[in-house]
Amino acid sequence: MDGIGLEGHFTIPNLPLMRALIDKLSTLGLPIWLTEVDISSTLDKETQAIYLEEVLREGFSHPSVNGIMLWTALHPYGCYQMCLTNNNFRNLPAGDVFDKLLKEWQTGVEVGQTDEHGACSFYGFLGEYEATVTYQNLLPQITRQEIDNNNKRRGRVPQEGNGPSYDYSAYTECKAVPESPLYNGGIIKGQTPILTHELNVSGSDINVPAFVLYNLTANTMLGNDKKCLFYQERKRAATIHVSDVHGDGLQGAAIEIEQISKDSPFGSAIAKTILGNLPYQSWFVERFNAAVFEDELKWYSTEPEPGKVNYTIPDQMLEFVRANQIVARGHNIFWEDPAYTPSWVRNLTGPELKSAVNSRIQSLMSKYKTEFIHWDVSNELLHFDFYEQRLGPNASLQFFQTVHKSDPLATLFMNEFNVVETCDDANSTVDKYISRLRELKRGGVSMDGIGLESHFSKPNPPFIRAVLDKLATLQLPIWLTELDINNTFDLETQAAYLEAVLREGFSHPSVNGIMLWTALHPYGCYRMCLTDNNLRNLPAGDVVDKLLKEWQTGVIEGHADDHGSYSFNGFLGEYRVNVKYGSRIANSTFSLCRGDETKHFSIQL
């Protein structure tokens, strides 16, 4: 199979969904063609033209789309759905759009002079160019040069006779603030480019933001888009086979199946306020199978003064999660933001700081080896560089290496904000995150997971999906590590946005776990609470309870068919099955893990 064809017969195009699908298909490494693009004739011609422009810009901006074909064959009666011209070849609005884009997507004629080094540079669309060079006795000479995905091509213009030769050069570059309109050279929100730094193309390692963003209606974001979410990766088909001692199937055997635990980690932050609070503990255990300590493991909590290390509180919290078979994330070893670095550490330099960070790693790892399934080694490394500034550019790389040696079984994470939450932060684009992860991997780091903090204001689900799709190409587990919604919204809106994000995360096959940032304090929570201080649900808590119920198989009852078999489709996790046939009873447990084929279990009575 050498290519992927997408017909492209649109009514009202959903650009973020289109982009997310092309991103996902591009992971196959095959060329993608839009093969039959048109817009429904049910729309007026001006609207047709607007939608055509949006689709063409979206397709042309995507690096994996190798070609675009319009479905506009002209007949005496018109065209299939959309015409570019009338029968006298006078442009219709769609034809005006097409001509405009053809002109926009061609470099045209560039005229200039060489600099003091004899070079003349320009930005050009990929393709074949003619260059005419004139200099004193140099005869005009045409050379042909194809510019491909490498950023530079060089050549020589020979002089006639015994004269000198002259170099010429050309390169392509993704500009920081290119000419408007801009597609795939930066990030657009509305019509304003917000990316303010240069992204150079270098060989095949092209660092280009993946998305062109448009304002979406609430209906697109939180309504119609839900129908695109599927949970098949979280479920699996299973068949129970009931037989007697001779292996004969027992038709009509009564079967009761109950899911008793979930495979997908879903949890919340907790704080020391949970210690000794039995109602809060019971409420938490009933809902969650994962936890993260909000502040209690951070360096400023465990060692507020040099040499005075105290793990009493995290030890007690760890005892609680252990007793209830809850997995825990280790958050965090180092926080790159100097505002959250212990004040005494900020005053250290050189050998003193190096000694302090080594002591921090050795202290944590020796005490908690194998206790935490994850460690956030470097927190918010895309935004801050406290340790790199003082210990050199390889400081974080060395942190990861040391932690891995100390606890080889732990999954090591970078943890970052504004990667999936918004497109407004140029420090944390998805491509910057990928680039940093690859940089650490090239340095020999065992990078095992991707942490997305997920502190949302107004979420954009198609953007979330596109970011997750792009990160998923690294084939590392992705966790939403600190999910909440801004408290500037009323509680009902907060809950609606929370549901949109949770559904988006749970539906994505590369999201291995979701953690809410909802540790309960007497004063409330960081930004979002699930309950009040009497553990009565707030709207966000109702959403969580609804989804927990929806994402669990629950109790299933049925009877074996004429072959003694009973089939069902269940969420991944642990199950208990009770079988009764006459006076004979059998009980068993089984697990459903990820897989494409039906899982079979046999019970003998």
pLDDT digit string, tens, across residues 248-306: 999 999 999 999 999 999 999 999 999 999 999 999 999 999 999 999 999 999 999 99
How far apart CA 513 and CA 483 sit, in angstroms, is 11
Closest alpha carbon to 343 in 379, 381, 384, 306? 306
Domain range summary for the chain, segments of one domain joined by +: 4-104, 265-550
Closest alpha carbon to 237 in 254, 257, 221, 222? 257
Q: Helix 430-442 to helix 395-406 angle, to the nearest 10 degrees?
A: 60
Which two tokens mark 582? 């006459």
Query: For residue 27, is pLDDT > 90?
Result: no
Query: For residue 448, is pLDDT > 90?
Result: no
pLDDT of residue 113: 84
- What are the phi and psi torsion angles at 388 (to 5°)? -65, -40
- When pLDDT is averaged across residues 217-241 and rounded to a whole number, the result is 66
pLDDT of residue 527: 97
pLDDT of residue 194: 38
Kindly provide the residue ranges of all beta strands, DSSP E only, lying in 13-99, ordered along the sequence: 32-39, 65-70
pLDDT of residue 171: 33
Query: For residue 403, is pLDDT > 50?
Result: yes
pLDDT of residue 368: 96
Query: For residue 508, is pLDDT > 60?
Result: yes
The pLDDT-based confidence of 187 (bands split at 50, 70, 90) is very low
Do strands 565-571 and 235-243 pair parallel, antiparallel, or not at all (unpaired)?
Answer: antiparallel
pLDDT digit string, tens, across residues 466-494: 999 999 999 999 999 999 999 999 999 99
pLDDT of residue 133: 78
Percent of the chain's residues with pLDDT above 70: 84
User: Other C-beta atoms within 10 Å of 41: how many?
Assistant: 14
Longest dimension (CA), the chain: 108
pLDDT digit string, tens, across residues 276-290: 999 999 999 999 999
Beta bridge partners of 566: 240
Please check whether residue 431 is in contact with residue 209, taking contact to mean a CB–CB distance below 8 angstroms. yes
pLDDT of residue 229: 58
Q: CA 77 → CA 38, 50, 87, 94, 265, distances in Å?
A: 17, 23, 9, 17, 59
Closest alpha carbon to 334 in 307, 311, 303? 303
How far apart CA 593 and CA 597 sit, in angstroms, is 11
Between 435 and 16, name the one with better pLDDT: 435
pLDDT of residue 136: 54
Strand, coil or helix: what is 509?
coil
pLDDT of residue 120: 83
pLDDT digit string, tens, across residues 413-428: 999 999 999 998 999 9
Query: For residue 155, is pLDDT > 70?
Result: no
Closest alpha carbon to 234 in 440, 533, 503? 503
How far apart CA 11 and CA 40 sit, in angstroms, is 5
Please check whether residue 407 is in contact with residue 443, taking contact to mean a CB–CB distance below 8 angstroms. no
Q: At which residue do the structure tokens 């074949």 appear?
A: 128
- When pLDDT is averaged across residues 332-348 and rounded to a whole number, the result is 96
Between 159 and 280, name the one with better pLDDT: 280
pLDDT digit string, tens, across residues 29-74: 899 999 999 999 999 999 999 999 999 999 999 999 999 999 999 9
pLDDT of residue 151: 41
- What are the phi and psi torsion angles at 464 (to 5°)? -55, -45
Q: What is the mean pLDDT of the chain?
A: 86
Q: Which helix (H) or strand (E) holds 589?
A: strand 584-592
Strand, coil or helix: what is 133?
strand
DSSP state of 75: B
Q: Specify the long-range contacts of residues 69-75, CB closer than 8 Å, at least 24 apart.
A: 69/33, 69/34, 69/35, 69/36, 69/37, 70/37, 70/38, 70/98, 71/7, 71/8, 71/9, 71/36, 71/37, 71/38, 72/38
- When pLDDT is averaged across residues 391-395 and rounded to a whole number, the result is 94
Q: How many residues does the chain have?
A: 605
**In the CATH scheme, what is the code of domain 265-550?**
3.20.20.80
Q: Give the residue numbers annotated as catalytic, written as ranges.
A: 380, 482
The pLDDT-based confidence of 119 (bands split at 50, 70, 90) is confident
- When pLDDT is averaged across residues 120-128 and rounded to a whole number, the result is 85
Closest alpha carbon to 337 in 389, 268, 374, 297? 389
